[in-house]
Structure 1
Amino acid sequence: MITSVNSISIISLTYNNWRLLDNAFRSLVSQQLPNVSFIEYIVVDDASPDFNAGEVHDLAMKYGVADKFDFSVRQNAKNIGTVASFNGAIQVSKGDIIIPLSGDDCFAGPNVIGAVVKFFNKNNSLIVTGLRVPVIDGKVYENDLIPDVKYHWLFEGDEQTPLLEQLCLKKNIISGASTYYRREVFELLGKFDENYRLLEDFPFYEKALNNGVKIELLKEKTLLYSMNGISNDSQPHPLLTKDYSRLMNCISKNPNLSFWQKRQVVFNKVFDRTKRSEFFIVLAYLDCFLLRKYESMRKSLVKRIT
């Protein structure tokens, strides 16, 4: 039985960016907190060579974080990656819901935590994702919300097969940075899959949807999202590339996708550009090749018209 939210765990994961935590700290202390019995804030560093827990504590005292929250700092003995680090933080946390907050990100307004709690309570939600607002070099891109409004219908109703197909066949439109979890969902599905090193969110969404767990959309701006992280580099981190490759191979075997959809995943997601241009691959996946060409031509035509 799902009960109302009475406690909150806010988690910041750091690795070589812990000096940016003042952004998160300023954002946290500006929040108008909901009426719950307990709010903790946990910082977990993944073995940054220069990490200084004392400086983090001093910074927390400076901004009043240590006074306003049940505050703790932990450091992994060795670098274990985002997925295992997040799992470890969840394991030691106590809140009814988990709210991630990267050190260089900020809540989009003073009532975000309250809005998230209210949404969980109203809808008995297990997974809630909000709108993130990208920030590049200090500039806020207000018109570039993710998920874009054109995707909102995918979250409506009880049937979320269209959302699963969007994630598997097209692209992931859900930001892990602005997605929040009720503790029961980890008891139901298990924690994030540690076969992945840096990619915790996307595989978990696929698993949730495959098991009938609904991902719900809070149509409010919840996060000012720094576009300077690993997942946004022009040259993706090799471990992240490896994680995506593993995920696409898993998706190509997803039992909730049709035979033809699995072929599309293999052709478009598993094969790279060079592989897709090989004669025998084109011949074997002619339907996927032609569909890809059609979509490319359609997008080009729409772009010229608009």
Structure 2
Amino acid sequence: MEGVNQELELFSVIILLYNNAQYIQECLDSVFNQKYPNIEIIIVDDGSKMFNQDGIQKYIEDNKKHNITNIIVYQNEQNVGTVKSANGAIKKSTGNYIKLIAADDALYNKDSLLQAAKALNISPCGIVTGDVMNCDQNLNPLGKYNKGLPEKINDLSPEEVFRRLCIHNNLVAGGFFFKRIFFEEYGLYDESYKLMEDWPTWLYITKRGCKIFYSPFYAIKYRSNGGIGTSMNPIYMADKKRVLDTVIIPAKSEIGPVYYIAARLSYFFINSDLVRKLYGKLFRNN
């Protein structure tokens, strides 16, 4: 591949699939389009009722380019949730660089993995977040999704990032890339959660002094669900409550009264049953 270093280390792209196989070809095409010369694709389906493993493998074989150097496609024996499913795929991966992506999203452009690898090589802790493009159901761009904290994060201490994250998780999981050394240092995702792999991890690592590095490139196209998908799931809400009970409340004195009050108010107004029910009546049923 002209102009590309053929010696770049293996990049494991993990595609998480659950009842959204209708989008898998678009996601795979975004991987096939990458200029990065050494890619491993791992697809894990978390117990979907309809999972055509042979069809997916055939699509990969028929459309992949020579930069796809390893392929793993498998299905969990039962639905275990996002966290365990992601951890299982990370364990199977062999790349030095790792990207997890939902099957209904897509890498932003042909340079996404190259830019991520470049950023990871200067990241102090082997973790990088890029930008996320919010898109409609046809992946037409709607505007930048992750405004605010990501653009400021390089100038903030991990302690300050931790305090801000206690109020709200505004670091979008889809924008993240990792070096394998990150998981060796901080461990895999916390399996006491079922659907929420991101927020507990960001809180855990920043509290321990890990510096999340922001790089100003678009990582993915995020297919918006209008805000009523996972956020309305009672299992996801239970995960959020666990964050409050086991991370934020015990850190009350550490984060200070202002951040603590803001965190409790944020949880009440954004995550309360009353607000979710009202949201559902106003928008979900119309």
**Range of TM-score over shorter length:** 0.7 to 0.9
Q: Which residue of 237, 244, 251 maps to 1:241?
A: 237
Match of 1:219 among 191, 216, 239: 216
Amino acid across the alignment from 2:163: E
Rounded to whole Å, the distance in 2 between the matches of 1:177 and 1:236 is 19
Aligned ranges for residues 65-214 of structure 1 at < 5 Å? 68-138=68-138, 140-142=140-142, 144-148=143-147, 150-152=148-150, 154-157=152-155, 159-169=157-167, 171-214=168-211
* CA RMSD of superposed structures (Å): 2.7
Change (3 A) 1:215 1:259: same
- Deviating beyond 6 angstroms after TM superposition, the runs of 4 or more aligned structure 1 residues are none
Instruction: State percent identity of aligned pairs.
Output: 25
Q: Is the 8 A contact 1:133 1:140 kept in 2?
A: no
Contact 1:199 1:240 in 2 (8 A): yes
Distance in 1, Cα, partners of 2:76 & 2:139: 33
Alpha-carbon shift at residue 237 of structure 1 (Å): 1.2
1:242 Cα deviation after fit: 1.1
User: What residue in structure 2 maps to residue 294 of structure 1?
Assistant: none
Q: 5+ residue gaps in structure 1?
A: 277-306
Q: Is this contact kept in 2: 1:14–1:45, CA < 8 A?
A: yes
1:256 corresponds in structure 2 to 254
Alpha-carbon distance between aligned partners in 2 of 1:274 and 1:53, rounded to the nearest angstrom: 38
Question: 3-state SS of the aligned residue for 1:89?
Answer: helix
CA positional deviation for 1:158: 6.0
Q: How far, CA to CA, are the matches of 1:90 and 1:223 in structure 2? A: 19
Gaps of 5+ in 2: 1-6, 276-286
Structure 1 range deviating more: 58-67 or 10-19 = 58-67
The residue type paired with residue 252 of structure 1 is: I
- Post-superposition shift, 1:29? 1.1
| AA partner of residue 174 (structure 2) | A
* CA deviation vs aligned residue, 1:104-124 (integer Å, no higher than 9, x gap): 211111111000001111344
Considering only CA atoms, is the larger Rg found in Structure 1 or Structure 2?
Answer: 1
TM-score (normalizing by structure 2): 0.84
